[in-house]
Chain A
Amino acid sequence: MNKSIIAAITTVALVTTSPVLARADDPGQLLTSTISKGFEILRDPMLQQPDQLANRRKKLWDLLGPIFGFEEIAKRALGYHWKEINAEQRREFTETFTEMLKDVYLSKSDDFQDGEIKFVRQIVKGDRSKVQTHFVNGEKKIIVDFSMTKIDGQWMIYDLTVEKSVSFLANYRTQFNSILSKGTFEDLLQRLRDKNIELSN
């Protein structure tokens, strides 16, 4: 009898204190717990050795990649131009653009060793949500709002807005729109490929 009461209490305690179990469908929880794990990887002294850099970036990518909806990002960054290209072009664009984002932001991640993320608030409406977080590093704090959408039952990030003003998606969208207003889709793709070559050097 006593044992089953203890078991019941333990179960309730586990379920209510474990955010993953309690709120599997919670975008804010998914996002902040995943990014917190990212900071743990960055803090791991073993992975801070110079010869571990590639390994560390791979671990980060394996962790963070799945919570970003890259096809959604590509689609939204192209805007109405997405409708004007075929499936093969969409696939190639998504792949090239993802490669670029990965190289740019993984290289930036090396500077965020001492950071942490704090959940602030969120709105969930149907399959879209917005999660507000604080990225804190010492006394410095940046407000980052994540826009997320549910794809195949899984919450994924498609945009982030820094300090309630700068949206990265809007920025890429403006760049792509500008390039496409002067050139073809093939030109844009070529510039992305050039950028990837430049980044890998």
Chain B
Amino acid sequence: MNRTFWTSAVLICFLFLTASPNSAHAQFFSIGTTEVATPEDDDDFQLDEDDWDAYEPVIVIKDPYEGFNRWMFKVNDKIYRYIFNPISDVYDFILPNRVQECVDDFFKNAKTPVPLVNNLLQGKFTQAATVGGRFLVNSTVGISGLFDPAEYYLKWSEYDEDFGQTLGYYGMGSGPYLILPLLGPSSGRDVLGWIGDYALNPFLWLGIFDVEKEEVFTGLSYLRRVNAYTYRQRDDYETVMVGAIDPYIALQNFYVQIREAKSKE
């Protein structure tokens, strides 16, 4: 563990020293009643093609296991409603939103190896440098990652690359759509990617290298899941469900759109 730790630490320091992240400071000024903010980056902001009557409607994903997926979708929905939600209600009652945000930031910071390695694997060195810089700033000034001063003060945004995206970057197709038990929407490629990212998960190292800490590892995993569900996923999921005519397709399409957009980053 020590060697891995120090190797990563040195690598991260090196990246931080050579970092030149874009620090486009958001400047706010007021016109009339509405405030104006500057864009975060100079990406291509343009009008989409006006293809309202196109025959091929939107990006789609192969769904050869639709029968199983629809069944799993229903099972998950029941699990969320009857098991996750009551736990989440209690958690939400005990911990204020600000604390949940800190917990979320903490886990995001702790899994820095995932975006760091995947940015490097895709040759996105500037982004990797920003990820490394964020880790250094947030682990120190941000008190072990509980806060995100790197974003707040330095405008170093996170670059959330995962191994599924790396596989996509090297030309691997998404594979079939899959609904995983508890975890929800995924694809063949993302399942592979998830396994790859899991190997980079520092909490796994804690578990493997230090057997006595296994309870800590398990406890942290539960905390991470309950917090992520309460703080981020639950509202999004419920918004999708309440606005959907065919909830299964709605969720699938949001998943596809998000993955598609991420692969273009």
Contacts and interface: CB of A to CB of B under 8 A. Distances in A.
B47 A128 contact: yes
Interface string A120-146: 110101001110101000010001010
Contacts of B250: 171, 174-175
Nearest to B238: A108
Contacts, number: 124
Contacts of B244: 175
A165 B259 CA distance: 8
B36 interface: yes
A166 interface: yes
A115 interface: no
B257 interface: yes
Interface stretch (B6-14, B37-45, B130-138): B37-45
Question: Which of B28, B33, B43, B101 counts the most chain A CB atoms within 10 A?
Answer: B33
A147 B28 contact: no
Instruction: Assign chain A's interface to a size class.
Output: 35 or more
A107 interface: yes
Contacts of B34: 19, 29, 32-33, 36, 117-119
Instruction: Assign chain B's interface to a size class.
Output: 35 or more
Interface string A158-179: 0000011111001111111111
B261 interface: yes
B91 to A, nearest CB: 18
Contact of B257 (A120, A121, A134, A171): A171
B257 A167 contact: yes
Given A116-B35, A120-B36, A165-B258, A132 B45 contact: yes
B46 A118 contact: no
Interface in A21-62: 29, 32-33, 36-37
B50 interface: yes
Interface of B: 28, 31-40, 43, 45-48, 50, 52-55, 57-60, 101, 152, 239, 242-246, 249-250, 252-254, 257-258, 260-262
7 contacts: A19-B31, A104-B242, A125-B47, A129-B47, A170-B257, A176-B245, A179-B249
Interface of A: 17-20, 29, 32-33, 36-37, 75-76, 79-80, 82-83, 100-101, 104-105, 107-108, 116-121, 123, 125, 128-130, 132, 134, 139, 143, 145, 147, 163-167, 170-179, 188, 191-192, 195, 199
